[in-house]
Chains A and B, each alone.
Chain A
């Protein structure tokens, strides 16, 4: 069967290929589960001078158990977009994989790039399809989607979007946070952006990286499910930039320097 719309989910259905995100609701005993807070993560994105800088911690937890300390939560979807995941890793990784394949399939089959609006709607649809799992309290995913718009007339084409559990997307002008550690840093970002020496939009890459690393360290201080820098294993948070030149990973070497210069230095005695 030929798929003329370039819709990857339709293509999978036509080939009897089921994805995790549209699993049926399993009946639960007792009272229905309340919508749970996203757990075990801090991810944040800020709009800086050249585009978007996005950072995430590396810890994956199950309850009070640290499952993994090298989790990659910033997932590159295509050359200009990154999904920062918070929530159930199984669903989040599946969501990212479906998203990546969907964008590629549209481009390859329709011979044109999917529009930003189309990309946002695709992610909305995946989050909405995942609602049964979210309502059961075991598979919720609340991501941040960051993308660079090459067609914009603005000097800075960086755009940040955040979602609710039902799939509605909202554009954030300056920053977005997600995950259990985000409550500790959201207000700080607001303060920094409004009354700090340099607003986020005027920061260069170095300043934005320092801000993001400091905030991840702050989140790790208060949220047990978020990790900061792990000196024993030499694990740093991940930081990516999205600019008109595409996506760049900040190297561990660069993060080590910035950490030593600007994050570990404190007023504490």
Chain B
């Protein structure tokens, strides 16, 4: 029975396999700094994946759309009430992920008679007046990982590692929006392509070869061109120079076209 420790662990591991299987085909999300704030980019197929949570906080996720919606609303509700009751300055991403979202996801993950959230989240916070700034990713088991400069979520751990490696080649904090968007899209292709290869051939030996292989820029742009036949680039920024209190805005089609026009 499940009240035996071994059975419980086995059930949790089965659940882990099941959720990883469900997430495998997810379109990655790339987050990085640029010279006027923080950028989130993905390529989607109709379903919106990047959301405004509060003045300086944005959220993106891969997974089941109903789970994304539930946790997005939880984050938005919590942030809205806290931001109103106290001050927007008292609202931090750390509190939101570590006190609210993380424990909720973990609880549902380990409650093996209930349904688990099929989700990976990437949240981002723009710091003003010396406040903390950066990215926090949340895994489907509730674990939290913070990074000041860049973060990714993807369908598999391998894809995430490959994207992290690609991103770490440059310090993007001085990049213009267009350059940052181009770099983020190339990173997306690295993660996506690896995910596709994995789905086709999931043997252990090939996994090592895949992670070592690198794609040249031409190949990256070619894959991107193919993906854009069915998919659409979705991007949003938390823009430090934005006059409004709310620093979030979706990228315009002009901004997106400026980044990819040379590749099409």
Residue from A79, A107, A108 with most neighbouring chain B CB atoms (10 Å): A108
Q: Which residue of A lies closest to B55 (CB)?
A: A104
Residues on A with C-beta less than 8 A from B48 are 111
Are B85's CB and A108's CB within 8 A?
no
CB distance from A242 to the nearest CB of B (A): 13
Is B243 part of the binding interface, using a Cβ–Cβ cutoff of 8 Å? yes
Are A78's CB and B81's CB within 8 A?
no
Are A2's CB and B73's CB within 8 A?
yes
Number of interface residues of A (CB under 8 A): 19
Is B80 part of the binding interface, using a Cβ–Cβ cutoff of 8 Å? yes
Q: Which residue of B lies closest to A104 (CB)?
A: B246
Are B84's CB and A78's CB within 8 A?
no
Residue from A3, A11, A104 with most neighbouring chain B CB atoms (10 Å): A104
Indicate whether A107 sits within 8 Å of B52 (C-beta atoms), given known contacts A17-B84, A78-B244, A101-B84: yes
- Identify which of residues 43-70 in chain B touch chain A, using a CB-to-CB cut-off of 8 Å: 48, 51-55, 70
Is A48 part of the binding interface, using a Cβ–Cβ cutoff of 8 Å? no
Residue from B54, B76, B80 with most neighbouring chain A CB atoms (10 Å): B80
- Docked CA distance A246–B249 (Å): 15
Is A15 part of the binding interface, using a Cβ–Cβ cutoff of 8 Å? yes
Indicate whether A108 sits within 8 Å of B80 (C-beta atoms), given known contacts A2-B70, A2-B73, A3-B73: yes
Residues on A with C-beta less than 8 A from B74 are 2
- Docked CA distance A15–B82 (Å): 10
Q: Which residue of A lies closest to B53 (CB)?
A: A108
- Docked CA distance A11–B55 (Å): 18
Number of interface residues of B (CB under 8 A): 19
- Docked CA distance A151–B52 (Å): 23
Indicate whether A15 sits within 8 Å of B81 (C-beta atoms), given known contacts A3-B73, A108-B51: yes
- Identify which of residues 107-127 in chain A touch chain B, using a CB-to-CB cut-off of 8 Å: 107-109, 111
Q: Mark B210-226, 1 if CB is under 8 A from A, else 0.
A: 00000000000000000
CB distance from A146 to the nearest CB of B (A): 17
Is A105 part of the binding interface, using a Cβ–Cβ cutoff of 8 Å? yes
Residues on B with C-beta less than 8 A from A78 are 244
Are A108's CB and B81's CB within 8 A?
no
Indicate whether A2 sits within 8 Å of B246 (C-beta atoms), given known contacts A17-B84, A107-B52: no
Selected A-B contacts with CB under 8 Å, 17 pairs: A2-B74, A3-B77, A8-B80, A11-B81, A15-B81, A17-B84, A78-B244, A97-B84, A104-B55, A104-B80, A105-B76, A107-B52, A108-B52, A108-B80, A109-B73, A109-B77, A246-B243
Indicate whether A17 sits within 8 Å of B70 (C-beta atoms), given known contacts A78-B244, A105-B80, A111-B48: no
Q: Which residue of B lies closest to A15 (CB)?
A: B81
Residue from B70, B83, B84 with most neighbouring chain A CB atoms (10 Å): B84
- Docked CA distance A2–B246 (Å): 23
- Docked CA distance A17–B84 (Å): 10
Are B85's CB and A101's CB within 8 A?
no
Q: Mark A38-82, 1 if CB is under 8 A from B, else 0.
A: 000000000000000000000000000000000000000011000
Are A79's CB and B80's CB within 8 A?
no
Are B73's CB and A12's CB within 8 A?
no
Pick the contact of B244: A3, A15, A79 (CB < 8 A).
A79
- Docked CA distance A218–B91 (Å): 44
Residues on B with C-beta less than 8 A from A8 are 80, 84
CB distance from A78 to the nearest CB of B (A): 7
- Docked CA distance A12–B80 (Å): 9
Residues on B with C-beta less than 8 A from A97 are 84
Are A17's CB and B81's CB within 8 A?
yes
- Identify which of residues 175-234 in chain A touch chain B, using a CB-to-CB cut-off of 8 Å: none
Residues on B with C-beta less than 8 A from A11 are 77, 80-81
CB distance from A26 to the nearest CB of B (A): 24
Residues on A with C-beta less than 8 A from B55 are 104
Residue from B74, B77, B85, B244 with most neighbouring chain A CB atoms (10 Å): B77
CB distance from A155 to the nearest CB of B (A): 24
CB distance from A7 to the nearest CB of B (A): 11
Residues on A with C-beta less than 8 A from B244 are 78-79
Q: Mark A1-40, 1 if CB is under 8 A from B, else 0.
A: 0110000100110010100000000000000000000000
- Identify which of residues 149-174 in chain B touch chain A, using a CB-to-CB cut-off of 8 Å: none
CB distance from A19 to the nearest CB of B (A): 9
Residues on B with C-beta less than 8 A from A98 are 84
- Docked CA distance A21–B74 (Å): 26
